[in-house]
C-alpha cells in the first residue's frame, strides 16, 4: 500500500508541476514551486526519524520473548533401540513426537523379533502420525532362533528369566527417553507375548502401569492360575 501511495503521489506531483508551469506564464508573480519543495523536505525528515526509533525499541523485546516461550523439547527418539539395566533392549518408535505421549507396547511371540512383529502388525506409522508412540520389547534368545518370553508355560516359552522385571525395566527406559507418558501405556501381546502380557497384568508390580491389556492368541491362562495370582478386572 505504501508503494501504491508513492506512485500515486508522483503522478499527482507531475500534474501539479504542469499546472504551475502554465500558471507561471500568465501570472509570474505567483511563486508556488519554492513553497512546496521546502514543505516536502521538512515533513519527510522528521517522519523518518520518528518512525524508526519506536519501531526498533518495540520489536527487540517482542522477538526475545517469543524465542523464549516457543521452544519445544523433543523426546529422545534418535536411537531406536533402548538398552535396560539388565542389558535387554526395547525398540521404541516415536517419529515426529515432541514430548511424553500415549504408548502401545507390543510384545512379540515365541521365536519372534521386535522388527518382525512391527512389520506384522503395521502399527508404527499410523500410531506415530496420530501422536502415539509404539514400543516393541525384545525377549531372550530361544534354542529355535529368535526370542521368547518366560510366561510359565511348559512349551513355546523360555525359562529361567524374570521377564516381568525386565518388562518393568523396559518401561522405565522408555519413560526416561522423554517420549512415553507413564500414565498412558497400553500393553498388547501375541501368542507367547500375549501370555507374558497376561502374567504382567497379574503382577502387582506391573499391573498398575497399564491402562489396558490386549491379548492376541494367548496360549492359555494356566500360568496365572497355577501361580495363585488374581486376575485384574481389566483382563476378564
Cα(205)–Cα(167) distance, rounded to whole angstroms?
A: 11
Residue with cell 499546472: 19
Cα(33)–Cα(31) distance, rounded to whole angstroms?
A: 6
Beta-strand relationship, 89-93 and 101-107? unpaired
Query: Which pLDDT band holds residue 86 (cuts at 50, 70, 90)?
Result: confident
Contact status, residue 192 vs residue 147, Cβ threshold 8 Å: no
Cell, residue 23: 500558471
pLDDT in tens, 52-66: 444 444 444 444 444
Cα(78)–Cα(95) distance, rounded to whole angstroms?
A: 9
Query: Which pLDDT band holds residue 217 (cuts at 50, 70, 90)?
Result: confident
β-bridge partners, 140:
148
Cell, residue 59: 520489536
Question: Chain centroid to CA 78: how far?
Answer: 12
Looking at residue 133, its pLDDT comes to: 96
pLDDT in tens, 113-161: 999 999 999 999 999 999 999 999 999 999 999 999 998 888 889 998 9
Percentage of the chain modeled with pLDDT above 70? 60
Cα(96)–Cα(107) distance, rounded to whole angstroms?
A: 23
pLDDT in tens, 15-29: 433 334 444 444 445
pLDDT in tens, 89-123: 999 999 989 889 999 999 999 999 999 999 999 99
Cell, residue 129: 502420525
Looking at residue 219, its pLDDT comes to: 76
The radius of gyration of the chain's CA atoms, rounded to the nearest angstrom, is 36
Alpha carbon separation from 24 to 9, 17, 82, 107 (Å, rounded): 22, 10, 89, 96
Cα(125)–Cα(145) distance, rounded to whole angstroms?
A: 28
Question: Chain centroid to CA 18: how far?
Answer: 66
Helix intervals (H) in the chain: 2-26, 32-69, 114-121, 124-129, 163-176, 192-202, 204-207, 222-226
Query: Which pLDDT band holds residue 76 (cuts at 50, 70, 90)?
Result: low
Please work out, in degrees rounded to the nearest 5, the angle formed at the alpha carbon of residue 216 by the alpha carbons of 215 and 220. Answer: 75
Looking at residue 105, its pLDDT comes to: 98
Looking at residue 54, its pLDDT comes to: 44
Q: Per-residue pLDDT averaged across 37-55, rounded?
A: 43
Amino acid at each position: 500500500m505504501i508503494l501504491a501511495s508513492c506512485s500515486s503521489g508522483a503522478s499527482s506531483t507531475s500534474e501539479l508541476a504542469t499546472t504551475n508551469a502554465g500558471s507561471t506564464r500568465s501570472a509570474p508573480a505567483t511563486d508556488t514551486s519554492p513553497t512546496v519543495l521546502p514543505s516536502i523536505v521538512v515533513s519527510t525528515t522528521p517522519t523518518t526519524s520518528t518512525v524508526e526509533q519506536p519501531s526498533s525499541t518495540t520489536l527487540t523485546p517482542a522477538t526475545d520473548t517469543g524465542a523464549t516461550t516457543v521452544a519445544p523439547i523433543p523426546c529422545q527418539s534418535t536411537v531406536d533401540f533402548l538398552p535396560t539395566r539388565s542389558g535387554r533392549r526395547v525398540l521404541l518408535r516415536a517419529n515426529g513426537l515432541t514430548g511424553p505421549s500415549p504408548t502401545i507396547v507390543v510384545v512379540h511371540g515365541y521365536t519372534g523379533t521386535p522388527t518382525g512383529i512391527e512389520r506384522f502388525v503395521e502399527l508404527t506409522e499410523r500410531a506415530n502420525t496420530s501422536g502415539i508412540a509404539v514400543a516393541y520389547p525384545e525377549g531372550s534368545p530361544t534354542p529355535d532362533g529368535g526370542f521368547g518370553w518366560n510366561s510359565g508355560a511348559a512349551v513355546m516359552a523360555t525359562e529361567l528369566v524374570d521377564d516381568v522385571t525386565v518388562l518393568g525395566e523396559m518401561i522405565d527406559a522408555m519413560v526416561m527417553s522423554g517420549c512415553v507418558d507413564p500414565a498412558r501405556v497400553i500393553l498388547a501381546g501375541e501368542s507367547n507375548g500375549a501370555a507374558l502380557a497376561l502374567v504382567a497384568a497379574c503382577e502387582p508390580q506391573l499391573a498398575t502401569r497399564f491402562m489396558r491389556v490386549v491379548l492376541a492368541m494367548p496360549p492359555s491362562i494356566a500360568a496365572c492360575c497355577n501361580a495363585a495370582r488374581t486376575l485384574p478386572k481389566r483382563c476378564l
